[in-house]
Amino acid sequence: MIDHFGMSTYTDISCHLVFATKHRARALDKTRRDDLYRFIWGVLKERKCHLYRIGGIEDHVHILTSVHPTVALASLVKEIKTASSAWIKGQAVFPSFEHWQEGYGAFSVAAKDRPRLIDYIKNQEQHHHGQAFVEELQQMVENAHLEWRPDYLP
């Protein structure tokens, strides 16, 4: 019997993920970054997540994605970092890449704020002419009303 009074599930879970290379090494050469981004996009698609935008510079990556309600955020980030690290090393894409740094930033994003964040991620090269990654991360943490802990950075 079909329940005509039940409600379907609606979700809009968007997340801004940020993580860096180990010791913030400037290892992600521009010539192959798009290949890395396509690989990460594939990981997200496998987990039923929608990629809105991905970008970054030599030492870190920004990802704006939906998170499917069946996916645990920590597991998703772990899978992205583990799979992309194996791919980078297996394909010898970035010779000076060692690992991703432990930890990550994950910040919820309202639907109305996605266009602004997409533009921000698109313009990472330009943005980082005036601001280092650590300063950028600190600003994101404080904008989320979280306590900035510099001791979290190795």
Give the 3-state secondary structure of 51-105.
Answer: EEEEEEECCEEEEEEECCCCCCHHHHHHHHHHHHHHHHHHHCCCCCCCCECCCCE
Paired residues of 60 in beta bridges: 20, 57
Q: Give the C-alpha separation, 36 to 49, whole Å.
A: 17
Residue 122 has pLDDT above 80, yes or no: yes
Give a yes or no: residue 9 inside a domain.
no
Residue 76 buriedness (CB in 10 A; 0-12 / 13-18 / 19+): buried
**49, 66 Cβ separation under 8 angstroms:** yes
Give the model's pLDDT for residue 77. Answer: 98
Domain count, the chain: 1
Q: How many CB atoms lie within 10 A of CB 27?
A: 18
Give a yes or no: residue 6 inside a domain.
no
Paired residues of 105 in beta bridges: 18
Q: Give the C-alpha separation, 60 to 56, whole Å.
A: 6
Model pTM greater than 0.85?
Answer: yes
Give a yes or no: residue 8 inside a domain.
no
Give the model's pLDDT for residue 10. Answer: 87
Give a yes or no: residue 2 inside a domain.
no
Question: What is the pLDDT confidence band of residue 72, given thresholds at 50, 70 and 90?
Answer: very high
Give a yes or no: residue 1 inside a domain.
no
Give a yes or no: residue 133 inside a domain.
yes
Question: What is the pLDDT confidence band of residue 121, given thresholds at 50, 70 and 90?
Answer: very high
Give a yes or no: residue 141 inside a domain.
yes
Give a yes or no: residue 5 inside a domain.
no
Q: What is the CATH number of the domain that holds 140?
A: 3.30.70.1290
